[in-house]
Structure 1
Amino acid sequence: MSLETLGKNISTVEVTHISSHGIWLLFGDNELFLSYEDFPWFKDASVKHILNVTEPTANHFYWPDLDIDLTLDIIKHPDRFPLAFTEA
């Protein structure tokens, strides 16, 4: 059976691997690594919550169970978007 007979792949984004260092995100033909150092919210999250990711708009990824929104630019260049906490 060829891929053409199986139909169109409708999954635009998925987590392909979770390790002790971070997660790998596959979208289209691209795979990106999100380290826990740069994206600490994933480190103690459950596998179920990490795997539940959507792409609501192009190059915008959302983990609804974790309430995490990341763009492709943030993932590729986390140094441009440092984590910061300020008290009001």
Structure 2
Amino acid sequence: MSPAVFRHLAEITNISANGVWLLTHDKALFMPYDEFPWFAEQSIKSIINVEESSDNHFYWPDFDVDLTLDMIEHPERFPLKAKNIEVA
């Protein structure tokens, strides 16, 4: 399949105070902000702009985040998280 086809398979179905729901390949995946902090301060427009650049690889170009299906389903296997750096 071409990348253009994959881009149509991923969709954000809900954004709540607790996290983001991604629907892909008939799976509903919840990404809580405590495990996926990159989404917490983003605009709705930026969050819904998701591409499935290859099978089970998701990219949010507006804030340069790449996640795989495995990372979303098993965040405990990937303990590193982004941190906000305060500039003095």
Provide TM-score, normalisation by structure 2: 0.82
RMSD of aligned Cα (Å): 1.4
Counterpart selection for 2:74 from 48, 52, 77: 77
Q: In the TM superposition, what are the counterparts of 1:1-88 in structure 2 within 5 Å?
A: 11-83=8-80
**What's the % identity of the aligned pairs?**
55
Q: Which runs of 4+ in 1 moved over 3 A?
A: none
Unaligned runs of 5+ in 1: 1-9
Question: Match for 2:27: what amino acid?
Answer: N
Size of the aligned set, in residue pairs, is 76
> Which fold has the larger relative contact order, with Cα–Cα distance below 8 Å and residues 6 or more apart in sequence?
2
* Whole-angstrom distance in 2 between the partners of 1:84 and 1:50: 18
Query: Deviation of residue 84 (structure 1)?
Result: 5.2
| 5+ long unaligned stretches in structure 2 | 1-6, 83-88
- How does the TM-score come out when normalised to structure 1? 0.82
